[in-house]
Amino acid sequence: MRGLIAPAVTALLLTSLAACGGQSGPTASKGPAEKTKIVIATFNDFGYQSLYQEYERLHPDIDVVERVAAAEEHHRRIATSLATGKGAADIEAIEEGWIGQFKAQPDKFANLLDLGAGQIKDRWPAWKWQTSISKDGKQLGLGTDVGGLAMCYRTDLFEKAGLPTDREEVSALWSTWDGYIETGRKFAAAKLPKTAFFDGPVVMYRAVLGQADVGLYNTDDTVVVETNPAVRAAFDKTIQAIDAGLSAKITAWSADWNAGFQRGSFATIACPSWMMAYIQEQAKNAAGKWDIAKIPGGTGNWGGSFLTVPKQGRNQQKAFELASWLTAPEQQAKVFRSKGNFPSTTKLYTDPVITQFKNPFFNDAPVGKIFSESVATMKAQYLGPKAGDINTAINNALGRVEQGKQSPTDAWNQALVEIKKIL
């Protein structure tokens, strides 16, 4: 699901009303049986609110309570709960950037194979299933979404800049990232007031990196940031776009970034499928002005999450049953159509419920077809234990360059030093 960093969301408490009353006389009932409360902790908008209500209707004995926090805060809290042995929810959502960190602690989680996960293994592609398996063979999480890549853009701003607005023509402008930057130069030449071509370095860097076969780690958990040319290439390509004057210089997930969606402060943003829900929430005044084209390079992945069951929970089997239901194809399809989080269940990639779905907010873009094609050819990167922290160090380096505080070389070298301290 959705990306790995975002602003805090007010916690939601979704509870069912208990039935009241009872019969009088000697046969009077003692009242309804006590419900089992299942607490699920997530970040961002997983699109589960209506599903919780549906599950409670199907299971009157279950009371679902959701806790929501910003992504980094959420994952820090999980780490603290596991370290102290208290405070974990019955179900903890973990984003792909952190899954490596937590699957290195398999003793802290229920092995979902013991609870019945082996019977539903075929829901997911092999790479998604494998991503949440620990070194000792325990399955720790059920896949929610994947972050297939596209490019979201403002048709009204493109029109003002004299660029084509049709999504097929726009896709043809940037079959490569060099084409994307060249299109950005043309956009910048129009000198639209208070509007840049893209938001800032973080999202572009993650999209470029998300297209590489190998990212930050080798499969033996060796960090290869310094030796893998794809990581430096993603850094350098982002710097190239910054140097061309195309960035709005807005920090991703900040209040200014949220306002930028509303104000039209940038015309494009690399768009994992979960980004659609974010844009729709932040830019409610711009429905129909956004559209979606192909991502430069045509494929890639950024994001996607897993539902895990910590061992601290007292209702592990029921927690698993809820997690299994939420990640079933039927529910994943509902979430995609309502929020945009693209399913991780392969059977849906050719199902008309996905492939024929168009999103009216994005000018009726055939988002089901676009994202199905994006994930069809992607190769999943291996995610090691500190992937989230390593990307943060590189993001910070890009920020220092954009702010004029360091040269690209100095920023990169400082990031390498910081990464070594992380490991």
Burial of residue 218 (number of CB atoms within 10 Å: 0-12, 13-18, 19+): middle
Superfamily classification of domain 149-301+362-422: Periplasmic binding protein-like II (3.40.190.10)
Q: Where are the alpha helices (DSSP H) in 210-361?
A: 229-243, 255-263, 275-282, 316-326, 329-339, 352-355
Q: What are phi and psi of 125, to 5 degrees?
A: -65, 155
Answer whether 36-146+303-355 and 149-301+362-422 agree in fold: yes
pTM over 0.75: yes
Beta strands in 54-106 (DSSP E): 62-69, 91-95
Q: Give the span between the Cα atoms of 313 and 91, in whole angstroms.
A: 8
Tens of pLDDT, residues 15-44:
333 333 333 333 344 446 789 999 999 998
Domain ranges of the chain: 36-146+303-355, 149-301+362-422
Q: Say yes or no: domain 36-146+303-355 is CATH 3.40.190.10.
A: yes
Task: List the pLDDT tens digit at each of the 423 positions of the chain.
Answer: 444 434 333 333 333 333 333 333 333 444 467 899 999 999 988 999 999 999 999 999 999 999 999 888 999 999 999 999 999 999 999 999 899 999 999 999 999 999 999 999 999 999 899 999 999 999 999 999 999 999 999 999 999 999 999 999 999 999 999 999 999 999 999 999 999 999 999 999 999 999 999 999 999 999 999 999 999 999 999 999 999 999 999 999 899 999 999 999 999 999 999 999 889 999 999 999 999 999 999 888 898 999 999 999 999 999 999 999 999 999 999 999 998 899 999 889 999 999 999 999 999 999 999 998 888 777 788 888 899 889 999 999 999 999 999 999 999 999 999 999 998
Predicted pLDDT of residue 32: 60
Query: What pLDDT, on a 0 to 100 scale, did the predictor assign at position 300?
Result: 87
The DSSP letter of residue 41 is E
Give the bridge partners for 133, in sequence order: 139
8-state DSSP, 118: G
